[in-house]
Structure 1
Amino acid sequence: MIVIDEQKCVGCGQCVADCVFHNLTVAQGKARVVQGCMQCGHCVAICPEQAVSIPEYEMADIESYDPESFHLEADKVLHAIKFRRSVRRFQDKPIEREKLERLIQAGRYTETAVNHQAVRFIVVQEKLEQFKPLAWEGWHNHVCALKAEDPERAKGFEGYEEIYRKDPTRDRLFFNAPCVIAVASDAPLDGGLASANIEMMAVAQGLGVLFDGFVLRAINHNPAAQEWLGLGDKQLAAVMLVGYPAVSYKRTAPRRAADVLWK
């Protein structure tokens, strides 16, 4: 529920003009709530007098915008995007809690359709060794299902489990990463966008990330793994391996020319 402090409100109408569902109006010199809304928070963000709040949300997290200290240089942003790599070689080193919390903040503040905010983040680090057997069981189920559908394609994946059993350091599912972050949501796009922001925050903190489709398939093929993670009725959008890279790349990797239509 939107709350407007009439002592602070000056009736400027900025919140009214920015409300996408037209749920606000100005009456008798003060902003008023006309009806319920999706609580996107634009009215909170745009109010010059800090007169608007949403008590159901964590208002203590609100930050004021300072244009002097907040500036993204386009070339540096593009540089960061071009130089990021999918990391499969990690140091044997846990990730500090404060860095993990920044990753979750990056995901939490990502936009969601109609402000649904129904994204769940499962961070597995301390209990990763408990989770791995469930993932390998799911991978086994996945390979068995693939054999029935496409035997030739399945041959490329059959040996992964056997190799891991003989030598756990040769782990083609987890690549010895110290941490796994699973992102689940009601809408896959919401989870995907949040995952992308998490990766950018990881890179900013000196961490490496691999979007791991193998572990995602493994989880989807084992209900016990889904229950252990606490996915509930949410759909798994991404699984990310996260850790300190044990490799340093010297340059960007080549890419095909952009497939773009200018109209």
Structure 2
Amino acid sequence: MDKLQVVVEKNKCIGCSLCVKTCPAHNLKIQEGKAQVILEDCLFCGQCEAVCPRKAVTVSGYDHAPQEKNKEERLNPGQVLNTIRFRRTVRQFQNKPVPTEVVKQILEAGWMTHTAENKRDVSFIVLDQEKERIEKLAVNLFRKIKPLADLINPLARNNVIDDHFFFFKAPLVILVLAEDKTNGLLAAQNMEFVAEANGLGVLFSGFFTMAANLSPKIKKALQIPKGKKVAMTLVMGYPSVRYLRSVPRKEMNVQWK
């Protein structure tokens, strides 16, 4: 990848100042009726390029060029709310592989997710051939610590840590890695929406995420890059269970000030 830089083509710029008003780093100004970059150091978030009506501002050095937005597309609010309302954690999966094109859509949803300060620190590990071996490492770890957990948490005593305790024989497991955990969680949420849209059930595995971040053996097996951690583990597949209604909730806690 070439060096990132913001480029303004003066012959195209009409001095509308939309890029100046949009830039979160305040790194653009209007001078002599044209947009001008103030510092070479920038967030390189691409907001200026996305808003420019004349394509006068570009961010060069990225591997993928921006796509044109040909029409305004809005999600149906009621359908979005129902997706959230009826969404359930799934731990029962069909023995049916997830098509590669669906996996790529899910990964793209995470890849496109916005990140704080445009860090773009999110990456992914898709567990395929190594899935059973990696799960076994986590199972061995949890079997060692279970006696202590049983003493602390009565509910832990009901858990049987079998060979499929983490992944439930699901066909697809994706680890979301990030330097900043919040960025990873945002990506994981968007990935879940795309998975749900493709008819998949999803489990956010906090247990495996914990194991992966605690165990040097698992970290080594996964080859997690230095400075990154597992923000979330997504266990996915076509569900073999159907939920017929939402679950009860307490009253919403909200303050209007």
Separation of aligned partners in 2, 1:179 and 1:208:
10
**1:173 lines up with 2:166 in the alignment:** yes
Q: Is the 8 A contact 1:183 1:236 kept in 2?
A: yes
Deviates more, 1:204-213 or 1:4-13: 4-13
Task: Give a deviation string over 1:67-125, Cα, whole Å, max 9, x none.
Answer: 44x12121111111111110010111121111111111111222211111111211113
| Structure 1 residue runs without a partner (length 5+) | 165-170
Aligned to 1:18: 22
Q: 1:220 aligns with which of 213, 218, 223?
A: 213
Deviation of 1:204 (Å):
0.8
Separation of aligned partners in 2, 1:104 and 1:230:
19
Q: Return closer, same or farther for 1:45/1:242 CA change in 2, 3 Å cut-off.
A: same
Q: 2:10 aligns with which of 6, 9, 16?
A: 6
Aligned to 2:37: 33
Runs of 4+ in 1 over 6 A off after TM superposition: none
Q: Return closer, same or farther for 1:229/1:239 CA change in 2, 3 Å cut-off.
A: same
**1:130 lines up with 2:139 in the alignment:** no
Aligned to 1:47: 52
Residue identity opposite 2:207 in structure 1: F
Residue identity opposite 2:45 in structure 1: C
Deviation of 1:7 (Å):
3.5
Deviation of 1:218 (Å):
2.2
Separation of aligned partners in 2, 1:143 and 1:56:
50
Residue identity opposite 2:121 in structure 1: A
Residue identity opposite 1:174 in structure 2: F
Q: Give runs of aligned pairs for residues 98-137 of structure 1, distance below 5 A.
A: 98-137=101-140
Aligned to 1:191: 184
Aligned to 2:63: 58
Residue identity opposite 1:119 in structure 2: V
Residue identity opposite 1:11 in structure 2: G
Q: Return closer, same or farther for 1:158/1:143 CA change in 2, 3 Å cut-off.
A: farther
Q: Is the 8 A contact 1:141 1:222 kept in 2?
A: no
Residue identity opposite 2:117 in structure 1: V
What is the SS of the residue equivalent to 1:17? helix
* Aligned residue pairs, count: 251
Q: 2:238 aligns with which of 229, 237, 244?
A: 244
Q: Is the 8 A contact 1:138 1:219 kept in 2?
A: no
Q: Is the 8 A contact 1:83 1:252 kept in 2?
A: yes
Task: Give a deviation string over 1:161-208, Cα, whole Å, max 9, x none.
Answer: 4x43xxxxxx22211111111112111111111111111111011111
What is the SS of the residue equivalent to 2:168? coil
Separation of aligned partners in 2, 1:219 and 1:135:
7
Residue identity opposite 1:156 in structure 2: A
Q: Between the two proteins, what is the percent identity of the paired residues?
A: 38
Q: Return closer, same or farther for 1:82/1:159 CA change in 2, 3 Å cut-off.
A: closer
Q: Provide the aligned C-alpha RMSD in A.
A: 2.1
Aligned to 1:153: 153
Q: Return closer, same or farther for 1:210/1:32 CA change in 2, 3 Å cut-off.
A: same
